Structure 1
Amino acid sequence: MSNSNTVSENMKPGTVVTMLNIQDADSNDNGKVMCVLNENIPFDIKSTTNNFFTVITDSELNRERSSQYNITVTCSDEGVPSLSSSVTLTLQISDVNDNAPVFERSSYEAYIVENNTPGPSIFTVKARDADWNQNARVSYILEDSSVNGVPVSSYVSVSADSGVIHAVRSFDYEQIKDFHFRVKAQDGGSPPLSSNVTVKVLIQDQNDNPPQVLYPVQTGGSLVAEMVPRSVDVGYLVTKVVAVDVDSGQNAWLSYKLQKATDRALFEVGLQNGEIRTIRQVTDKDAVKQRLTVIVEDNGQPSRSATVIVNVAVADSFPEVLSEFTDFTQDKEYNDNLTFYLVLALAVVSFLFITCLVVIISVKIYRWRQSRVMYHSNLPVIPYYPPRYSDTLGTGTLQHVYNYEVCRTTDSRKSDCKFGGAGSQNVLIMDPSSTGTMQRIQSEKSILDEPDSPLEVRLFQYYFNVRHYSIQSAFAVWCFIQMFFTSELQTATSIVQPGVYLVIQRPIAHLKYLCFFLIMLSMIIIMCGNLLFSNMFPFPVFICI
């Protein structure tokens, strides 16, 4: 026989778990019954009246130690021989929220590098609850606190389900090196139980700051110079470059090097301490004005550096230094900004020149193509004369007047042309057997004579008795070349095989004016650069020239 029952783990000792009724059909001593339980269980059995027995708790129950008990009850009579029987009771222990969440560590330390990206996780806290089901469900809460007067929630956040800690902002080691906060783990029981843990976040330094030079002080308007007498011995301490780095560790370890100097054989810089000392005896040949460029470099990866200029006056008296003081402020060195502006000016001028040249060539090509189109569209009609025909008196079978017209729009830059004349005037006989190369057969006066027109067009017509067109082609090329370099319209020429016209026009731009404009523009740009950098450029006039 087996029975099952459930009890709560928070039952107090002596609480009745179950009741048993034991029956024995015998009489007298053979019917008396005694019951016992198995060992090592927190339960006991007691006899009551009329063969009833109760099972009670003998000590406190704990579901976390044992969630189930198998209780075996053995009953025997007092007969001889004794008879017995047993029953097993299965007892389930129900959970009670009697355990708070427990963190895996008593405290946590998290590390994060400065200049981090906000959002990624930096650490995870973990807590466990020994209870069961809902009582064991843990959630994480960031407790309210402040860091340097700012709520801690503006620095970090905690995931309620997983305990993952996220950085809300980017940290700066130079502003905050570490901070701490508390995280609470709370279960889902009723009432809920919780526990706390402290998390300390340490910011790790990056080499994000260059060294800062404290001495000598770099002033923009005045000049500071260290004075060195000419009688000093070797190893004389001229001055000391003092610099600091706000980073920490090896990122703040500084080293000093002499980058440039007027005379490298005269001074040296201490690698670790930045002391500037003489390394030889000063002579009269040494210049009064000495300029040293010292570079201060840290030991980070990658390293950062700063430069400082130390002016040294080698003289025995102050008046000697004072006489050189003005020249000292006007010393010219190569300057990156000045070089940049000069290169920029050259680039701008070159760009403008190339652009103008391309535009001119493009316009020329366009107009040349337009003239070709007009040439094909404006071919005149040449009347046909029979061979060896001549009409000198104006009487004959042909009409006496022929008009040839070329008309353009009024807004055109080209002139309107009209050619008219009688067909009977000056008509000569063309002898095919003649060996002459050219005969002039017609000459017409220019009829385009507008007083307000800036252009004059003179038209000439020629007949070439040539079998090939090589002479015509060469003359056309010469005319086009002349068109690109002339400043005014010279001729408008008709080159024939009869009926072929070629018109040459004035260019729209003058190359010499363009060159003059670019030269003036270059001088203006360079003069502006001289004005901006007059303290570094002592001879602007000569450079402009």
Structure 2
Amino acid sequence: LGGGLNQTMRRQVLLFISVLYFSSVIGQVSYSIPEEMPKGFFVGDIAQDLGLDVKRLASGKARIYTGDSAEYIELNKDRGVLLVKDRIDREVICAQTSPCALHFQVILENPMEFYSITVEITDINDNAPIFQRGEMKFRISESASTGAVFLLQQAIDLDVGVNGLQSYLLKPTDNFILRLQNQADGSKMVEMVLQKPLDREKQAHLSLVLTAVDGGEPQLSGTVQVNVNVLDSNDNAPVFTQKMYKSIIRENSPFGTQVVIVSASDSDEGPNGKVSYAILNLLDNVSELFEINRETGEVTLIGNTDFEKKRQYQIHVQASDEGGLTDSCKIIVEITDTNDNIPAINVMSKSSAIKEDVQPGTVVTMINIQDPDAGKNGNVQCYINENIPFKISSTSNNFFSLTTDSELDRETASEYNITVTCSDEGVPSLSSSVTLTLQISDVNDNAPVFERSSYEAYIVENNTPGLSIFTVRARDADWNQNARVSYILEDSSVNGVPVSSYVSVSADSGVIHAVRSFDYEQIKDFQFRVKAQDGGSPPLSSNVTVKILIQDQNDNPPQVLYPVQTGGSLVAEMVPRSADVGYLVTKVVAVDVDSGQNAWLSYKLQKATDRALFEVGLQNGEIRTIRQVTDKDAVKQRLTVIVEDNGQPSRSATVIVNVAVADSFPEVLSEFTDFTQDKEYNDNLTFYLVLALAVVSFLFITCLVVIISVKIYRWRQSRILYHSNLPVIPYYPPRYSDTLGTGTLQHVYNYEVCRTTDSRKSDSGSQNVLIMDPSSTGTMQRIQSEKSILDEPDSPLEVSFPEDKHFLHQLLVGLFSATQTTESANATCVTAIHKGQGILPNYLHFAILQSLVYIAACVSV
């Protein structure tokens, strides 16, 4: 009927003329098109199928009426055909309902005619199966018997028919196989069956992949990870009292409504007998609508159910114990219908702002109410919230107007949120509401008002200039520019200085900043005035007084007034040897210019020649004897008293008090004279020790330089012997390698080494000696048994060393090698350090090695 342009389109047309009423003709036509067709896609030739002339469509002002439904089909009156107006998604329109169809009417006038049109939307495979959860976890005991069943999560495919979900695959199948069971509603329950016993000791974790496949072309699929943790033996699984539970609830039941209580028992004891419940399937948004108590098995409602969308839900519940064994059951929940269509409020026109001086009765908003229910369920009454100067009234059927009911005052309320609520007469009654926001225009009739009549702020002395001290705020009841407040610091002076040199005020925020650093000892408080001015025309303003209080900081240490500390002379307090316990020796007097606890002083005896003889009063600073003076007590007593304040952190001062324990003044004078001489003697002794150490170090380094010079001279002599074809034994430092002829030493160095007469005996065994052939290119050869060389009386070189000289030998070779490479010198010196330990005294060994390392570094540079 629709032409030959779309061969794959299935179309059925059925035309009925059943009733003639006031010259109206009623007919019905049906078409079928696939979903997702592009805009302008041909649906059907409505003029031909209804037997109408194309001119009749134009003269009768033909139009499509869809009610409240979205308009997906449009009528081309010039051609008399139906075309796709907007994208049609079958899953959005009908979800799982099949068949899916669009119902609308074609209306003509003069005479009035209307025709019912049905367009069936067929499904295409545009949705792949998906799993709501990205992972499924199972805890299965290793003692689970073969054939144990574990319910898996079902996949969701929004398509229907052959394009919907068809089958599942589970891989790998080493331990489990997949079993599908068809349900009464057409879905398939997916079960994982254990076909091979598990062994936790061999494999404690299994990772499987469940794949859901649809039947479309091309075929689409979705996967989910199945993780199995194998647990130790638990030989009793929970058992449900029923395999199927049924429940009936009303749609839109309140949250928390009890649906059903499932129960499972486990004959095990302890943790293996404790049963927990969980909802497995996520199909049809079950997990978003229902919730189960893990301990009691009570299933409650946590979402809104809609009878028009779905009338039945199947909930798969799993009971599991602590050992990982499970059992499952199914709950069928029936949804009963109620009055669930709420009135729809359409705002036709509204004012967003009105002046506060409008007259009562001014229309603010017009609204239209639509309720698809019939009878009382479709009768709607509207009302607004109370205590506002507005009222709502009905002008005609389903039309209401919102008007002002009294005079307005923006200062009392600058904005109104008017909630219009419309309720039908159904049982129970359903309602909907809309909130309209109405702004009231302003007039500048209010001056800024500060939050307080006066302000006090505190700041700690020694602050950083620019520090924020306090914020003053003023509010203006007006709106917009009339309520924009600026803050101004009024001119005044503090101690003859302009207040602007002390503080500043941010014009926008009212933040008061310190311009300078304050000193509590100089100024303790001051005050000024701040003016707040709005942005109206003319502007209005108000003033407030701000008082700044400076807080003390512990920034001054205590000052000792007595005893006075002198630089040259020694002043001592005398204590007679006959003094009793508690004898007042002297009193330390100190002051602190800070205030409060920062000026609370305490006195402590920090150091004393004899701490058992004197004590210092913690609060008064009095120095008293704490025992009887004896003849054994020294005449010279030196006390160090520390004076601390109570600030955080604490500051302190130290005073030294010299006390003479004597009965006569001459005795005191002689003793304190000796004290001065002893001090000078100790100073001289330190100087002489430093001088002696410097002289010894200089002589030691001079000797080393002389020894090195002699060694260099002998080394040059060995070069002459080398060229004269005499036997030469060159020494190569450790870690030397020249297998490619590119060693670290580029020349041959020969040197003589002296040894004791007994060393020939102690080292009579064969030794490994390094020898270089003059004709070679650097290859090292190991020559065994140097005995023949040592036996020659004219041999210019002996290479055997006693143990107490071997480390010095290596150090010297390292120094010579340092002229070519620092690496070889360092390696030889490190070897010598280990060799020398224990042979020489520690202090001499350390001094020699330290000096040689410094010399080696200098030579290398």
TM-score, length of structure 1 as denominator length: 0.47
Whichever structure has more strand as a proportion of its residues is 2
Which of 1 and 2 has greater Rg?
Answer: 1
